Amino acid sequence: MSSRKTIALVTGANKGIGFGIVRALCKEFGERGVVYLASRDEGRGEKAVQELKGEGLNPRCIQLDICNNDHISKVADYFRDTYGGLDILVNNAGIAFKAAATEPDSIQAPVTVETNVFATLRLCRALIPLIRSHGRVVTVASQAGSSIYGRLGPDLQKRFKTVTSEQGVIDLMNEFISAAKEEKKKELGWGSSNYGVSKLGVIALTRIQGQDIIKDSSREDILINSCCPGYVDTDMSSHKGPLTIDQGAVTPVYLALLPGGCSHQGLFFYQKAVKDFW
């Protein structure tokens, strides 16, 4: 890479795994990079930045609700106008309803898919064109996605395994939402986990994005992968996970820093190793 600074963006980063990823990237780059901590709420984001500055690190805060298209446009414009592009994008923002949530499936399924799949895809469509040669894109998924794959009906398994376009994944997700609204998820072979299906969706999207970026002859050595960070002690896990946020950041950061010449593309990782479940 040239002597210019490495520019990184981590979404959903004011707490939890995203916060750990920002911390690790700041330590890695020092003065050689600028790491942006993205947060839906600017106040919480600034508080998180100040905490890291207290550790001697120097991240910057940027407001980004991935479900807000205006936010996405402003963030894309910012990195284009300020730096001429972006080197690292870590898609960490996501949601999961608690087991005790009282909202019906007809609400939980579309809200989960909208955030974890559709909003992530819209952000990628805005920012991947800004990723410079030798850049890295990492989407934080979950083994809940690989696990639910094994419980899908055979037709759905085949379709997820062979889907080759973003629109194909969108169609699958919309079918899932319809099944949830009609209370026919199990009957139609979808299993029971809204979160798992949404994470399977982003794993499939990552595979497609990796295949598509290879065809872009205007840039070189851009790697796009997804991963499971492990079961981490965060708000999302109701603090039941055994791993610290810094331990949960290990695999996402590993993928964000893959060296030049690496062939990992469109793959799903767990504990820094490829997990091929298709």
C-alpha torsion angle, residues 114, 115, 118, 124 (rounded to 10): 170
Beta-carbon contacts of 121 under 8 Å, excluding residues fewer than 6 positions away, are 166, 169, 170, 205
Q: What span, in angstroms and rounded, lies between the C-alpha atoms of 114 and 177? A: 10
86: alpha, beta or left? (left if phi > 0; alpha if psi -120 to 50)? beta
Compute CA 211 distance to the chain's CA centroid, rounded to the nearest angstrom. Answer: 17
Q: Which of 36, 149, 195, 254 is catalytic?
A: 195
Helix spans in 5-83 (H): 16-29, 42-53, 69-83
Neighbours of 237 (CB within 10 A): 17
Residue 64, classed as helix, strand or coil, is: coil
Give catalytic status of residue 195 as yes or no.
Answer: yes
Helix (H) or strand (E) segment spanning residue 167: helix 166-181
Neighbours of 242 (CB within 10 A): 10
Beta-carbon contacts of 82 under 8 Å, excluding residues fewer than 6 positions away, are none
Give me the active site residues, please: 195
